Amino acid sequence: MSYIYLENVQKSFAGQPVLKDVCLSIEKGEFVAIVGFSGTGKSTLLNLMAGLVMPDEGKVLFDQREVTGPGPERGVVFQNYSLLPWMSVYENVRLGVDAVFREWGDEERDRHTRKYIEMVNLTPALRKRPSELSGGMRQRVSVARALAMNPQTLLMDEPLGALDALTRSTLQDEIGEIWQKEKKTVVLITNDVDEGILLADRVIPLLPGENGATLHEGVRIDLERPRDRKQINHNPRFQELRKRIFQILREIGKSTTPAEDQDRDRGLPRIDPVHQRLSLSDRIRRFRNAHVIATEN
């Protein structure tokens, strides 16, 4: 029996079709990566599973019950971290713990909060505010907050999209390790095919179409675990899988590209920089800082 189940889901925003006939079935404990072009509705798909968005048509089931809203059994790691800037690392994680484990005492909640902060190696930054942390550290807090609620499923929306390559690979390894340890069902939205292959049991390309994107049937990643990022690159099976996924994405890229552009290799998923969203005051401060530095030089 599938754990997360989407049946003929349709979704459009302001008359613009985003998803069409999306069917998906994920088993308990499975790690699924959904890869695709930017702006094809990957985040919408995740928000549907999270219960933040309702489908126009079709059904979203979680553990055989219809999803009617967000719930603590589905932890979400947002694309832009979504940490609360007025709270410390501890308080951000603790907020979720307090909301979920209402029957626990103060000491138990405290121990639990600290355990998950330790799991993402942020104990030294316990009292720091998000503005004092690097992008990678912020994302770790976001992961810790989601995990500390002890969800059965972890839904991650391009969690590493905004990070530099080095931090990205470190966090990929951490996510892999945490999954091994916690054995949660994980849905990872990503635009990085290699990331999907490295981490997931199944990579499902999201294919854009005129009436909204649809899901490909998916490619099973039958590589041995634990997967080592250094060795995997030389693994012929890895290269084969990689080629196949790119081919699926490229096919669809061709079919939606105007004829004169067909020679140009536009089929690859484009990685757009995903900038962290800043509040107005942060933007003003950033501007001021930039200005001050410029005049001082």
Partner 1 sequence: MSAKVIQVLDKTGFGMFVPLVRLITWDEPAQQLKEMGKTYGLPILGITVFVLVWGLIAPRIQTSIGALPGPGEVWSAAKSLYAEHQAEKLREKEYYQQQALRKAKWEARFPEKPFPFQPYAGKPTYPNYILTSLYTVFTGFVIGASLAIPLGIICGMSKAIYIALNPLIQTFKPVSPLAWLPIATLVISAMMSGPNPPVEKSFLISAVVVALCSLWPTLINTALGVASIEKDHLNVARVLRLSPWKTVTKIVIPSSLPLIFTGLRLSLGVGWMVLIAAEMLAQNPGLGKFVWDMFQNGSSQTLAMILVAVITIGLIGFALDRIMVTLQKLFSYSGSVAAQ
Beta strands in the chain (DSSP E): 4-13, 16-26, 31-36, 57-62, 65-66, 74-77, 153-157, 185-190, 202-207, 214-215, 219-220
Give the binding-site size for partner 1 (rule: CB under 8 A).
31
100 binds partner 1 (CB under 8 A): yes
Q: Which residues pair with 201 in a beta bridge?
A: none
CB of 82 to partner 1, least distance (A): 4
With a CB cutoff of 8 Å and minimum separation 6, the contacts of 151 are: 72, 73, 74, 75, 184
In angstroms, what is the C-alpha Rg of the chain?
Answer: 20
Residue (43 or 214) nearer to partner 1, CB:
43
Q: Does 23 bind partner 1 (CB under 8 A)?
A: no
The reply to whether 126 sits near partner 1 by the rule CB under 8 A is: no
Confirm or reject binding of residue 76 to partner 1 (CB under 8 A).
yes
Contact between 116 and partner 1 (CB under 8 A)?
no
Is the CB of 92 or the CB of 172 nearer to partner 1?
92
Task: Please report, as residue ranges, which positions from 135 to 164 form the binding site for partner 1 (by CB under 8 A).
Answer: 145, 149
Contacts (CB under 8 A) with partner 1, residues 254-293: 277, 279-282, 284-285
The whole-angstrom separation of Cα 204 and Cα 200 is 10
50 touches 76 (CB < 8 A): yes
Measured at the CA of 215, the angle between CA 33 and CA 144, to 5 degrees, comes to: 30
Shorter beta-carbon distance to partner 1: residue 131 or 233? 131
Taking CB under 8 A as the rule, does residue 50 contact partner 1?
yes
Question: Which residues contribute to the site for partner 1 (CB under 8 A)?
Answer: 50, 52, 69-72, 74-76, 78, 80, 82, 84-87, 95-96, 99-100, 129, 131, 145, 149, 277, 279-282, 284-285
